[in-house]
Amino acid sequence: MPTPMTRRGAEKLRAELQRLKTVERHAVIQAIAEARAQGDLSENAEYEAAKDRQGFIEGRIAEIEGKLSSAQVIDPSALDADGRVVFGATVELCDEDSGDEVSYQIVGDDEADLKQGMISVSSPIARALIGKEEGDLVKVLAPAGTRSYSIVKVFYA
């Protein structure tokens, strides 16, 4: 099943993969070699730590490669959804209770970062927004209770 992600998200994963393969992997191999040179491996904490780190790095490499191989990369600027909220869209909302305005871009699970205004497509608010248009009122069941938002603007950047 394809995993949706923005072009920016895919580039970020590719950069992490490149760093893991070219920098981190070589550093941990060097650390293992240095720990081996110290002799008795049964009581060598540096060796154990390096082997654990190697396992983490190799696991993360496999995870990223899997995600990229099943990725459906979407360029939000190339979308034409007739003003509807879709994956990759940025949505300006007005909280009906407080009057506060917020802006969110709907992104893949790995890209989500609330501090940067990027919410996961599988989050309750994104699921409530998908398919809606400018001017629609959206009710979101959040952990703190039901919140109402009006969609002020939808754009694809």
Q: What pTM was estimated for this model as a whole?
A: 0.77
Predicted pLDDT at 1: 75
Is domain 75-155 given the CATH code 3.40.50.2000 in the classification?
no
CATH code for the part of the protein at 3-73: 1.10.287.180
Residue 104's nearest CA partner among 84, 94, 119, 122 is 119
The encoded tokens of residue 154 equal 């939808």
Please tell me whether residue 101 adopts helix, strand or coil conformation.
strand
Q: What is the pLDDT of residues 112-135, one digit of tens each?
A: 999 999 999 999 999 999 999 999
The encoded tokens of residue 75 equal 């360029």
- Domain 3-73 identical in fold to domain 75-155: no
Domain boundaries of the chain, sorted by first residue: 3-73, 75-155
CA distance to 47, 59, 119, 125, 151, per residue, from 92 (Å):
51, 38, 13, 12, 6
